[in-house]
């Protein structure tokens, strides 16, 4: 499988002009290499138990996290190799090849999200558009949609932290020239699939709804999704004026504007409370929290395999009372070109030493 060059271009698109110093609540690039080899080995045990390495995306769709989350797994696994025990090469190759194949099968026209996240087929798009209960887009509704996306995203960043964000927040599209009535539109879907991870947080921090979908049809507006759904950017146009039709659905129910506003207020309070909780944690507590959140990504796979998804004692022993690793990825370095990014984050080494070994 020859996928890493396309993956690196897409992942670079969200890393350009940034450093690793902004991630919260801790420096993941110097944390994951401490224990990721054990987690990946265990992931493969679960995947093999259910025969996933020989199954298609269609067979596994209901067990897998969203596509953006799969892309983020590559974004983390490849640099982690730089600080890992390199006896894990075979496991890394099998795991990353599996993730890449799932992306190529689920989003064949842009698997790694260089410009978009095209999860749905034309037939699925047509069926969705014709079954959604649309409301005409107004300035009030457009602003309310924007507030909902912002506040739901804020809560997700608390529930799942910066690097597992994509487990709770994705976007699909933009699907250009989508037919609705006599007109064609740019169709964009925002998806918050799980705002109730009760396995991670007490009920008081969780939303009253589990899943939110925001469907939007635009005219004269161009969106770009850089690799992961929370990095949806406006290329041109006015999203307030350009929103022509929209619908917000929570747990299968289409919401009114007033219901959306109530959810916005609720999610804002929940987000504030969860950040207070996170800021009160010690360094050791933060490490345990992040390891638990990271492990939760493949919870459905583990459950299907009859395994406990939670970190093992061996994984935990790797991090307890230990400082983060040093000098795996340099701090304070802004990525300015693809070649520099591939070298700094180990994509070139991973391709040579892991993917091409004995291939």
Task: With respect to residue 159, please indicate whether it lies within any of the assigned structural domains.
Answer: yes
Whether residue 115 lies inside any domain: the answer is: no
**Domain for residue 114, yes or no?**
no
Assigned domain for 333 exists: yes
126 and 251, same domain (yes or no): yes
pLDDT at 284: 97
Among 242, 260, 278, give the residue marking a domain's end: 278
Residue 227 shares a structural domain with residue 150: yes
pLDDT band at residue 14 under the 50/70/90 scheme? confident
**Shared domain check, 288 and 155:** no
Please identify which residue in the block is written with the tokens 């026209």: 109
Within a domain: residue 117?
A: no
3: nearest Cα among 82, 78, 57: 78
When the pLDDT of each residue in the chain is averaged and rounded to a whole number, the result is: 94
Residues 130 and 268 in one domain: yes
In a domain, 167, yes or no: yes
Residue 303 and residue 267 share a domain:
no
Final residue of a domain: which of 278, 307, 334? 278
- Residue 131 sits in the same domain as residue 269: yes
Q: Which residue has the higher pLDDT, 335 or 75?
A: 75
| Range of the structural domain that residue 20 is part of | 4-106+283-355
Lowest mean pLDDT across 85-94, 142-151, 152-161, 240-249: 85-94
> Which residues are bridge partners to 232 per DSSP?
225
Nearest in space to 75 (alpha carbons), one of 356, 335, 358: 335
Read off the pLDDT of residues 264-314 as tens digits, 9 standing for 90 and up. Answer: 999 999 999 999 999 999 999 999 999 999 999 999 999 999 999 999 999
**Based on the domain organization, do 209 and 297 belong to the same domain?**
no
pLDDT of residue 15: 80
Number of structural domains the chain divides into: 2
- Residues 149, 213: Cα–Cα separation, whole Å: 10
Q: Which of 278, 294, 313 is the last residue of a domain?
A: 278
Give the C-alpha separation, 99 to 40, whole Å.
12
3-state secondary structure of 223: strand
Q: The tokens of 234 are what?
A: 């406006």
- Distance in angstroms (rounded) separating the CA atoms of residues 156 and 52: 28
- Residue 339: half-sphere exposure toward Cβ, Cα within 13 Å: 0
Note whether 93 and 160 are same-domain residues.
Answer: no
Residue 111 within a domain: no
Residues 158 and 171 in one domain: yes
- Considering the domain boundaries, does residue 113 fall inside one? no
Return the closest-CA partner of residue 41 out of 100, 5, 105, 94.
94
Determine whether 286 is exposed, middle or buried from the number of CB atoms within 10 Å of its CB (0-12, 13-18, 19+).
middle
């Amino acid at each position: 499988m020859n996928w890493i060059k396309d993956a690196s271009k897409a992942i670079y698109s969200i890393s350009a002009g940034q450093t690793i110093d902004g991630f919260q609540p801790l420096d993941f690039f110097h944390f994951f290499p401490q224990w990721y080899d054990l987690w990946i080995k265990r992931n493969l045990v679960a995947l093999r138990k259910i025969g996933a390495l020989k199954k298609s995306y269609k067979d596994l769709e209901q067990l897998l996290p969203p596509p953006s989350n799969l892309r983020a797994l590559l974004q983390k696994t490849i640099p982690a190799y730089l600080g890992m025990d390199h006896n894990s090469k075979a496991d890394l190759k099998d795991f990353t090849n599996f993730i890449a194949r799932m992306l190529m099968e689920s989003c064949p026209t842009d698997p790694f999200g260089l410009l978009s996240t095209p999860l749905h087929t034309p037939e699925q798009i047509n069926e969705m558009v014709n079954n959604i209960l649309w409301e005409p887009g107004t300035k009030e509704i457009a602003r309310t949609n924007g507030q909902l996306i912002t506040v739901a995203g804020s809560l997700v960043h608390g529930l799942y932290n910066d690097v597992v964000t994509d487990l709770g927040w994705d976007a699909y599209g933009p699907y250009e020239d989508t037919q609705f009535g006599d007109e064609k539109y740019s169709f964009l879907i925002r998806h918050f699939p799980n705002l109730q991870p009760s396995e991670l947080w007490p009920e008081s921090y969780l939303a009253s709804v589990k899943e939110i979908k925001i469907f939007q049809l635009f005219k004269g507006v161009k969106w770009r999704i850089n690799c992961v759904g929370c990095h949806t950017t406006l290329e041109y146009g006015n999203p307030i004026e350009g929103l022509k039709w929209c619908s917000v659905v929570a747990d299968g129910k289409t919401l009114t504007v007033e219901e959306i506003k109530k959810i916005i207020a609720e999610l804002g309070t929940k987000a504030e409370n969860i950040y207070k909780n996170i800021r009160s944690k010690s360094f050791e507590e933060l490490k345990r929290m992040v390891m638990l959140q990271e492990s939760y990504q493949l919870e459905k796979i583990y459950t299907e395999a009859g395994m406990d998804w939670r970190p093992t004692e061996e994984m935990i022993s790797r991090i307890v009372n230990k400082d983060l690793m040093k000098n795996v990825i340099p701090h304070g370095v802004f990525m300015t070109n693809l070649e520099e990014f591939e070298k700094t984050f180990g994509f070139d080494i991973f391709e040579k030493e892991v993917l091409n070994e004995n291939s």
